[in-house]
Chains A and B, each alone.
Chain A
């Protein structure tokens, strides 16, 4: 069992915040990804959970017990370092045995346990090698084995695939996921790769500039981003974001004649949230646009990317507004052609132009929150 509860934890280095106060409850067996660009405080957060870094404020609880000031080794959490951190002077077998020997387990039991872990990760053939001779992927397997060997209640992984070649990445991703499902250990996984986070995590914590931006399921952060940062950061390309003044139930988007009518269910909320005539931001994913000769919105094809399964149209509304539209791979439009399209009303999101926050719900339809408690804690901290 390992339910990890972070209560208003924060980290300052001198005067600057590496992590601004936030709260989060990670349920037993949950796979949570900390996602954000480099330098946003992901590693620092993970190190605070592990105890390698002290907190500047707030408390950390494991299954209800306050572990804020407990030493790293005694939290029953394993840490997988970004650059493996294997002991270079001993063999793979001894590396994996290290945590067991450090706690003084009897030798015969140590190697029995090592063999178990080794067979789970299928690294029998590496046992007598030194870490220096291994490939990146194998190093990471050994690091995982070392983390696994003590049967920790939680895994903390800091960009475990960050240093791997693209070809290993996908298979290691599957391997980690498989490991998680078979051990059912609570996992906190740091990554700057949104594809990785989306593919692996039950919940994603999106961070930017030392601040938690949103906590939600992959569907939440994708379909109902809490703010413009999340909207841009998740997805590739990110969400299309168009600003324009709201007049009544219409928004005047850039370009000539691009009048967007706010879908009926959202009119009331939007009218309450933005003053008449002031800017509002309309957001939609590339796949929310549907080409349609009678469509309300129009622009000029600026470029087309053939991406195999589908095609991505870059459509310019005016000189500095380009939106991305996903369409069938068979559709062909010459550069410069004028296209018209509509937006799927279910998939359109609105954002406040000044606060950059979402107007309306930040949970995607049809996904129940995994933890109401977590969402509440998040709101309290915000």
Chain B
């Protein structure tokens, strides 16, 4: 019965087949890929090469002048400018501080949350919230938290008189300047926001470690400390390296948090490269050519560092 019904349905289709011109699988595939490909070329590939070209010109996006080829002048200017080196230095400090704090805290949190306790699921979810917020929003509300007059943070710390309280984002404490305070304040927020990310990756690594390794270690009379360094860390290392890689790249080009909280200030104490890049490209003189050159320098640094990480990661894997 069923088979005859099927035969009835299928026979007209078969009859129709030669008449209708069918698209080949290849055509369909290309049609599906085309929109994405066009978008990628327009939004990524073209700007990539165009900005490479612009980095060798003196172009300014608001000047009504065609780009003029200046060779490597932009690169030379940037790399010989002591101020730029200071910004690189600030970015480096920022990266080192945020990533190392995130790794230590993220690892510790993961070790805690890994243990099942009443409400551990809820706690894990709560810890993850900062990571899900928009960086601009985070920057803005931490700016309010840090506010010396009515910020929540100072109130929590027991300061009621703004004139003796720290003004975190202005790098001053009781009206006296404390250089570096603003950078630490921004680092703190970055750590607050992104430690959950490291925790999440480490947690999945920890959960994948089979129990029998710890049982074997217990039989082998390994102390908890020995187990941590000889089993836990090496087992989590590949995932931890991925977390570090992601966080390093993000920190090297971090922009939104810093811009939202300090805009690079006070003075240029928190002027990280990406903020400076933004300033060069879109504020004041609109130095599109030089900004492109700077962007390329950052890109090369990031590619170089990523390469080192990936190589190390591969060594870990194949060992």
Contacts and interface: CB of A to CB of B under 8 A. Distances in A.
A17 interface: no
A85 B212 contact: yes
Contact of A98 (B222, B235, B319): B222
Contacts of A90: 230, 234
Query: In the complex, which range does the number of interface residues on chain A fall in?
Result: 20 to 34
Given A83-B212, A85-B213, A78 B230 contact: no
Nearest to B220: A99
B235 A50 contact: no
Nearest to B316: A89
B310 interface: no
Contact of A52 (B210, B219, B223): B219
Interface string B197-223: 000000000000010110111111111
Contacts of A98: 217, 220, 222, 230
B220 A81 contact: no
B220 A52 contact: no
Nearest to B212: A85
Given A87-B231, A89-B234, A130-B319, A81 B222 contact: no
Contact of A89 (B212, B218, B222, B319): B319
Contacts of A235: none
A29 interface: no
A200 B305 CA distance: 58
B226 interface: yes
Nearest to A99: B220
B220 A89 contact: no
A90 B319 CA distance: 8
Contact of B219 (A78, A86, A88, A101): A78
A72 B218 CA distance: 6
Interface string A139-178: 0000000100010000000000000000000000000000
Contact of B221 (A73, A83, A86, A146): A73
Given A71-B218, A102-B226, 14 more contacts: A52-B219, A72-B215, A72-B218, A73-B219, A74-B221, A79-B216, A79-B219, A81-B212, A87-B213, A89-B237, A90-B230, A98-B220, A99-B219, A102-B230
9 contacts: A52-B218, A72-B221, A73-B218, A78-B219, A85-B213, A87-B213, A88-B235, A89-B237, A98-B230
